[in-house]
Amino acid sequence: MYYLVESSKTFEQAAADLDAAVKRNGFGVLHVHDIGNTLRGKGVSFEPQVRIFEVCNPGQAAKVMAADLKLNMALPCRISVYTEGGKTHIGMIKPSGILSSLSQDATLAAVAREVEAQTIRMIDEAK
C-alpha cells in the first residue's frame, strides 16, 4: 500500500529535489504542508521534519473526476518527505490502492497505475 524510500540526502535537499522531479514529470505542486513546523509553531513538541507535497496532473485528475466526481476527495496525490531515526525518507500511499478501495472501474484502475508509475519515478529521482 505504501511506496517508501530512504534517501542519503538531507531533508531540505530531498524536499527541493522532489519539487524539481514533480515538475520535470509533468505534474504541478499545488501546496506544500510543512507539518513539522506547523506543529512546533502551535507549541507541540515534535522533532521530525515532515513536508507533504500535494501534486497533481490536471489531465489525469480530470479523467478520475469524469469517471466518478466523488473521487475528487481522493485528490490530489500526496508525497511526503520526512525524517525518522536520523534518516530522510520519501514516500506515498500508492494511488492504485486508494482508488481500488473506492472504485472497481477498470478505466480508473488504469489511470491509477499510470499516476502511480509517474509518482514512483518522481520519488526515485528525488532520493
Other CB atoms within 10 A of residue 101 CB: 10
The grid cell for 24 is: 520535470
Give the domain extent around 25.
Answer: 2-126
Which of 53-57, 90-94, 104-108 bottoms out in mean pLDDT, i.e. has the lowest? 104-108
> Does pTM surpass 0.85?
yes
CATH code for the domain of 80: 3.30.310.70
Tens of pLDDT, residues 5-29: 999 999 999 999 999 999 999 999 9
Tens of pLDDT, residues 47-81: 999 999 999 999 999 999 999 999 999 999 999 99
Spell out the residues 6+ positions from residue 80 whose beta carbon is closer than 8 angstroms to its own.
50, 51, 52, 53, 89, 90, 91, 92
3-state secondary structure the chain: CEEEEEECCCHHHHHHHHHHHHHHCCCEEEEEEEHHHHHHHCCCCCCCCEEEEEEECHHHHHHHHHHCHHHHHHCCEEEEEEEECCEEEEEEECHHHHHHHHCCCHHHHHHHHHHHHHHHHHHHHHC
What's the number of domains the chain is made of?
1
